[in-house]
Amino acid sequence: MLDTDVKVVYQRPRGFEELPTHYCPGCTHGVAHRLIAEVLEEMGELEHTIGVAPVGCAVFAYNYFAFDFVEAPHGRAPAMATGIKRSLPDATVFTYQGDGDLASIGMGEIVAAASRGELITVIFINNTNYGMTGGQMAPTTLPGQVTTSSPMGRDVERQGYPIRTAELLSSLDGAAYVVRRSLHDPKNIRMAKKAIRTAFEVQKQGLGFSMVELLSTCPTNWGMTPANARVWLAEHMVPYYPIGDFKVSSSIAYDKPKGRD
């Protein structure tokens, strides 16, 4: 009576190790990881992929993915990915980077990699703070946002303005696909997965640099429940960091999701 009627509707992707992650409860890193693993499995790329982990909360990402991985110095993942991709042009190479890693210490490397049109895919986690070190101000921290190093709230007069990374990189001719998505609800997560798929396809087709910025939550450092964190993301981050496509090379054929173009 039992077995034959059971249909698997949800299981661990093949690209995942059978390990619990070290991420905080409610953090969206797990969702982002899962989307990457699902996409690479669907594309049949799992065993041809080399990931580059950052310094930050995702420093141990290589523990959770079931394929080859290297761990980069802080901010240098795009450079390391360049070295790998140039040595192994047939491999699928991606970096997984947070906002401190990519938009602060590693801004030079990401801009240079994008401008070279480096055939790598970048998954960029924007959660408006340095998570691993305990929630300091990041380049992406919103005006007025309280962090452990902007205790009175980010004062743009003294601490400058947040960086809209996707918009910034979209101005570069080497970038073929630069979009922003969010992980705060199922609809947006589905859109994010599509974008990740497109980004990897862009790499496989040799069209240029690809990046998906993912608006993410950090309930622990934000001092919120996971549910409230998702609401905060929608109410505060999305207005500042609009979801949309900022650079889509004309060679890319795909179903355009709704949003800004």
Partner 1 sequence: MALELIKGNVAVAEAAVRAGLVSYFGYPITPQTELLEYLSARMPELNRAFVQAESELGAINMVYGAACTGRRTMTSSSSPGVSLMQEGLSYISCTELPVVIVDVVRGGPGLGNIAPSQSDYNQATRGGGHGEYHQIVLAPASVQEAIDLTTLAFDLAEKYRSVVMVLMDGSLGQMMEPAELPPFQPIKTEIPDWAVRGIPGRGKHVLTSINIDPPAQERTNIRLMTRWQQVEANEVRYKGYYLEDAEYLVVGYGTAGRISLSAVRAAREKGIKVGLLRPISLAPFPFKVLSDLAEQVKALLVVEMNNGQMLEDVRLAVANRKPIAFYGRMGGMVPFADDVLQEIEALAAGPLSQEEHPRDRWLAKMRVEFGTGA
Closer of 94 and 241 to partner 1 (Cβ): 94
Six-digit token pair at 236? Answer: 């505060």
* CB of 204 closer than 8 Å to CB of 92: yes
Give the span between the Cα atoms of 215 and 260, in whole angstroms: 15
| Phi-psi map region of 117: left, alpha, beta (phi>0 left; psi -120 to 50 alpha) | left
Closer of 50 and 166 to partner 1 (Cβ): 50
Binding flag, residue 92, partner 1 (CB under 8 A): yes
Binding flag, residue 215, partner 1 (CB under 8 A): no
Binding flag, residue 47, partner 1 (CB under 8 A): yes
Q: How far is CA 244 from the centre of its chain?
A: 14
Q: Is the four-CA dihedral 257, 28, 220, 228 of positive or negative sign?
A: positive
Give how many residues touch partner 1 by CB under 8 A. Answer: 36
Closer of 49 and 147 to partner 1 (Cβ): 49
Among 87-95, 155-163, 172-180, 232-240, the segment contacting partner 1 (CB under 8 A): 87-95
Bridge partners, residue 215, by sequence: 126, 182
Among 6-14, 63-71, 139-147, 148-156, the segment contacting partner 1 (CB under 8 A): 63-71
Q: How many CB atoms lie within 10 A of CB 225?
A: 12
Helices (H) and strands (E) in the chain, counts: 11, 9
Six-digit token pair at 49? Answer: 């992929």
Among 47-55, 158-166, 192-200, 209-217, the segment contacting partner 1 (CB under 8 A): 47-55
Binding flag, residue 81, partner 1 (CB under 8 A): yes
Closer of 105 and 224 to partner 1 (Cβ): 105
* CB of 62 closer than 8 Å to CB of 51: yes
What DSSP element (H or E) covers 72? none
Among 78-86, 123-131, 181-189, 221-229, the segment contacting partner 1 (CB under 8 A): 78-86
Closer of 169 and 237 to partner 1 (Cβ): 169
Binding flag, residue 112, partner 1 (CB under 8 A): yes
Please choose, from the candidates 184, 188, 189, 194, the residue with its C-alpha nearest in 3D space to the C-alpha of residue 248. 194
Task: Out of 32, 36, 50, 119, point to the residue binding partner 1 (CB under 8 A).
Answer: 50
Task: Out of 21, 34, 43, 116, point to the residue binding partner 1 (CB under 8 A).
Answer: 116
Token look-up 């990374």 returns 165
Binding flag, residue 119, partner 1 (CB under 8 A): no
Bridge partners, residue 153, by sequence: none
Residues at the contact surface with partner 1, assessed by CB under 8 A: 47-50, 52-53, 59-60, 62, 65-73, 76, 79-88, 91-92, 108-109, 111-112, 116
